[in-house]
Each structure stands twice: as C-alpha cells, then as structure tokens.
Homo-oligomer: A and B are copies of this chain.
Amino acid sequence: MRDELTACPVETTLLLINNRWKVLILRELLDGTKRFGELKKAIGSISSKVLTSHLRSMEESGLVDREVFAEVPPHVEYTLTETGNSLKPILDAMKEWGTDYQAKINSELKEAKDN
C-alpha cells in the first residue's frame, strides 16, 4: 500500500472510500451539511480523533468542504463538494448490492434451518 501513483482508477477510488468511517461520513453528508457534533452523534461509535482525521483526509482529497464560523462557541460545518456528491451513484450501487446480498444470505440461513 505504498503507491502514490495508483495506476488503476479502481484503486484510486478505493483509496478514498475503502474505509468504514469514510463511507459512514459520506452517507451522513449526502444528506446535507452537518456540524462536527452532528456527525459524531449520527455515527455514534466514532471518537473525535478518528472523526477529525478522516474529515481532514477527505478534505484533502477534495471530497469535503470545511467551513469555520468565527463564533464562540466554535461552529464548524462540513459539506460534500461536487466531487464528493458524485460518489453517490457508487454508494447507491453498493447499497443495492448489499441489500441483495443480505437477502441471499438470510434465505440461505433459513434453508439451512429448515433442514
């Protein structure tokens, strides 16, 4: 996993969304702009540190915009960029496939139980 140059576009995509947390963040933000705290609460089991680091990484990749409001207490909003939003079809495809897959697994489990 040492490549800066990822020849294959599939790998490039994977580098940006191969992570569970990134996908969860993506899913939340596809829903619209959210604040740091909202993200943390929505995702639930993520620590501040990890959330921050992934948001930073996604910002660097150009998927997410970070807007800081000069207020006390602090107020920071995260929004998907156009590039980030363009990942939606992939997420949707994954959702659809995952749904089918789960259904398949469940029916297999049921069959096994019936025998």
Contacts and interface: CB of A to CB of B under 8 A. Distances in A.
Interface of A: 1, 8-14, 16, 18-20, 23-24, 27, 62, 83, 86-87, 89-91, 93-102, 104-105
Nearest to A99: B9
A6 to B, nearest CB: 8
Contact of A86 (B8, B91, B97): B97
Contact of A101 (B12, B19, B27, B98): B12
A14 B105 CA distance: 16
A23 B14 contact: yes
A20 B9 contact: no
6 contacts: A10-B27, A13-B97, A14-B94, A18-B18, A83-B104, A90-B94
Contacts of A94: 9-10, 13-14, 90
A9 B86 contact: no
Nearest to A7: B102
Nearest to A90: B93
A10 B105 CA distance: 15
A95 to B, nearest CB: 5
